[in-house]
Amino acid sequence: MTVTEYVRMLVRDRAKNRCEYCLCHQNYVMGRLQTDHVRPIAKRGADTEDNLCLACELCNQHKWTKTEETDPQTGKRVSLFNPRTQNWTDHFSWSADGTKIIGLTPCGRATVSALRLNNTLAVTVRRNWVRAGWHPPK
């Protein structure tokens, strides 16, 4: 089964045109946000709406087939953030200057690490978005 254009549209609308991991908006990135499998096909994930989310290229590339990561604080292996079953604000917050994503829970910290949500490029771009008044999202 492949993801239909209709399902891609539903995923995009549900995410309000934002990456569901780093919250970047489609209007602010070069390239189209991608439909990502929360549980990858390689790990028996399905092409169903409840297993799909919207992701920017950076997040999608770093996530790849990962579903777990070690929490850098506890050293325990935990599941990555699942935008279909979890709320972003329960697991993440923004740094005071709005440029870094802070993991609040083991899941959040592991996801920040696995997806490299605070890589140099992302933080630099967010800094410019903050200056433009586009970020962080409300």
Residue-wise pLDDT for 17-38, tens only, equals 999 999 999 999 999 999 999 9
Domain borders along the chain are 5-132
> In the chain, what percentage of residues exceed pLDDT 70?
99
Q: Does residue 69 register a pLDDT over 90?
A: yes
What predicted TM-score, i.e. pTM, was given to this entire model? 0.95
pLDDT average, residue stretch 48-77: 97
Looking at residue 1, its pLDDT comes to 60
For residue 28, give the nearest of 134, 136, 137, 138 by alpha carbon.
134
1-5, 83-87, 133-137 — which is least confidently predicted? 1-5
Confidence of residue 138 (pLDDT cuts 50, 70, 90): confident
Residue 2 pLDDT > 90: no
- For residues 128 and 1, the model is more confident at 128
Give the residue among 80, 5, 3, 85 at the shortest CA–CA distance from 48: 3
SS (H, E, C) the chain: CCCCHHHHHHHHHHCCCECCCCCCEHHHCCCCCEEEECCCHHHCCCCCHHHEEEECHHHHHHHCCCCEEECCCCCCEEECCCCCCCCHHHHEEECCCCCCEEECCHHHHHHHHHCCCCCHHHHHHHHHHHHHCCCCCC
